[in-house]
Amino acid sequence: MQTTSSVGVTETPGDTTAGGPNHPAVGNTDLCAIASEAAGRTISPSLYNVDLAPTKAAGRKWTSYSIFTLWANDVHSLGNYAFAIGLFSLGLGGWQILVALGIGATLLFALLNFSGFMGQKTGVPFPVMSRISFGIRGAQIASLVRGAVAVAWFGIQTYLASVVLRVMLVAMAPGLKDLDSNSILGLSTLGWLSFVALWIIQLVIVSFGMEMIRKYEAFAGPIILVTMAAIAVWVFIEAGGAIQWSGIKGLEGADMWLTIFAGGALWVSIYGTFVLNFCDFTRSSVSRKSIVKGNFWGIPINMLVFGAIVVVMAGGQYKINGTVIESPSDIVQSIPNTLLLVLACLALLILTIAVNLMANFVAPVYALTNLFPRHLNFRKAAWVSGTIGLIILPWNLYNNPIVIVYFLGGLGALLGPLFGVVMADYWLVRRGKVNVPELYTDDPKGAYFYKRGVNPKAIIAMLPAAALAIAIAFIPGLAPAAPFAWFIGAGVAALTYFAVADKKQAHEDVSGEPIAVASTH
């Protein structure tokens, strides 16, 4: 096989798109024919294109720093600050919050490594990875559930960022406040202008593909860390060098430890989406070592820094005026200096865009590409996903507790069982052995065709675990177990799948290099 290109087609230097190598004279059907010849088996156009194909091992660019900056951005998201500050409101003091976050960080470090190793070895994105356990067609279930959660939150996070932008614009030009008093479909004129501006900026970035996302995360990471640390120092100085270190509700004994462990479990649940599709990023990682190193500095170390900032912000503000803030944006709005307020708002905007790109954009883009591989590449899927995030009017979703709790919460409860099935199948049943080329064939004799493209054993394992997780999340009588719903769902699904799976079946370990594409998309 030629090594001058991905799947044997010579590339013209610089001739690339966001979706991968751009060969104007070679359609997806022709690429599949070339890949079929290279792999020695039929590669289906309904399962393969340059975005879904495995990445070549040579030329991967995601280093440990790239992975670290993912977490440098995502851990310090406004939503995470709101959650962690909420632990202060529940009555946990400084050291107790740090312990809760430390428990969650330790568990996440392990889960993300196992999930990341899968992507680094196979080079495939999550929708393709889920074909291993769910089948070449059943994988649509997993990828669409993950994508649906993400596309809704993409719109909501963009709306929340637009609120910060509105604050910044009014601070810079007070006359704009007049544009913020009307309502058009639930949003003011200034609100619409802010939302659409941020919507376009994110779509432009994503249009340049995963490599541009990597570069943006690397740019944003240090800015976020410095900004959040600076805000914490400012609060500490304003509080006279003292913070509220102990819990404001005096929790002790069993109640205290239950709240600590619940906080740690919920911290993992927040990342239930990310541990599921972390392979979308690690498929371009240079080595396992880079994943472990990036995760180590980005998860336990970075999360402890995050926890320290939370304790200083919440405890310091409580010392100042006896109130508990909801997020850093509350502090930013109180900054008396206009220049500093604008700079802080810019940093929060950079942060929110960074979080949105990796947590809420990549998953639906790959899900849509997986659904329509003949018609959508990365760039087209990004615009479709972004458009959906706009037309659902996400500010109305955010302001509707029923939608947030029951729709998004219900979908979120399914992520634990999905994770349990995928991980049990890959690590316990197959012991990491994957025939990568067969992930792209619809031959009934293929390893992942199962029954009409769906693995019934995966569905059998997932459904009762999903029902249990949803029941725990929503039935009031089961409220004490609600923080642990993700773990319960994942554990039940994993154990059930392992029990019903054929553990005597031999599994082949076949590289996807013959049909791989260059890691530039």
Give the model's pLDDT for residue 409: 67
pLDDT of 27 higher than 80: no
State the amino acid at position 169 in one-letter form. Answer: L
Tokens matching residue 95? 């050291």
CA 95, CA 38: separation in Å to the nearest integer? Answer: 57
Tens digit of each residue's pLDDT (9 = 90 or more) over 124-171: 999 999 999 999 999 998 888 888 888 888 998 899 889 889 989 998
Spatial CA neighbour of 87 closest among 306, 309, 288, 314: 314
pLDDT of 6 higher than 50: no
CA 84, CA 113: separation in Å to the nearest integer? Answer: 23
CA–CA distance from 415 to each of 100, 115, 264, 422, 456 (Å)?
22, 14, 18, 11, 18
Give the model's pLDDT for residue 408: 61
pLDDT of 19 higher than 70: no
Give the model's pLDDT for residue 318: 86
Spatial CA neighbour of 234 closest among 158, 310, 331: 331
Q: Answer with the residue of higher pLDDT: 142 or 52.
A: 52
CA 86, CA 100: separation in Å to the nearest integer? Answer: 12
Between CA 53 and CA 64, with CA 58 as vertex, the angle to 5 degrees is: 95
| Bridge partners, residue 21, by sequence | 16
pLDDT of 447 higher than 90: yes
- Using DSSP bridges, classify how beta strands 20-21 and 16-17 pair: parallel, antiparallel or unpaired: antiparallel
Tokens matching residue 520? 């530039």
Give the model's pLDDT for residue 331: 79
Q: Are 109 and 253 in contact (CB under 8 A)?
A: no
Tens digit of each residue's pLDDT (9 = 90 or more) over 238-265: 999 988 887 777 777 888 899 899 999 9
CA–CA distance from 216 to each of 210, 213, 223, 344, 358 (Å)?
10, 5, 11, 18, 10
CA 275, CA 272: separation in Å to the nearest integer? Answer: 6
Average pLDDT of the residues in 12-37: 58
Q: Answer with the residue of higher pLDDT: 399 or 278.
A: 278
- As a three-state string, the secondary structure of 197-265 is HHHHHHHHHHHCHHHHHHHHHHHHHHHHHHHHHHHHHHHHHHCCCCCCCCCCCCCCHHHHHHHHHHHHH
Please indicate, yes or no, whether the overall pTM of this predicted structure exceeds 0.85. yes
CA 118, CA 129: separation in Å to the nearest integer? Answer: 8
pLDDT of 521 higher than 70: no
Give the model's pLDDT for residue 322: 83
List the single range of 101-110, 112-121, 235-244, 288-297 with lowest mean pLDDT.
235-244
Number of H helices, E strands in the chain: 24, 2
At residue 20 the predicted structure's pLDDT band, cuts being 50, 70 and 90, is very low
Give the model's pLDDT for residue 18: 35
Between CA 82 and CA 87, with CA 86 as vertex, the angle to 5 degrees is: 130
Give the model's pLDDT for residue 332: 79
Tens digit of each residue's pLDDT (9 = 90 or more) over 198-213: 999 999 998 888 889 9
pLDDT of 51 higher than 50: yes
Phi-psi region of 151 (alpha: psi -120 to 50; beta: other; left: phi over 0): alpha
CA 40, CA 36: separation in Å to the nearest integer? Answer: 6
Give the model's pLDDT for residue 3: 35
Tens digit of each residue's pLDDT (9 = 90 or more) over 494-503: 999 999 999 9
At residue 520 the predicted structure's pLDDT band, cuts being 50, 70 and 90, is low
CA 113, CA 310: separation in Å to the nearest integer? Answer: 26
Task: Report the mean per-residue pLDDT for the chain.
Answer: 88
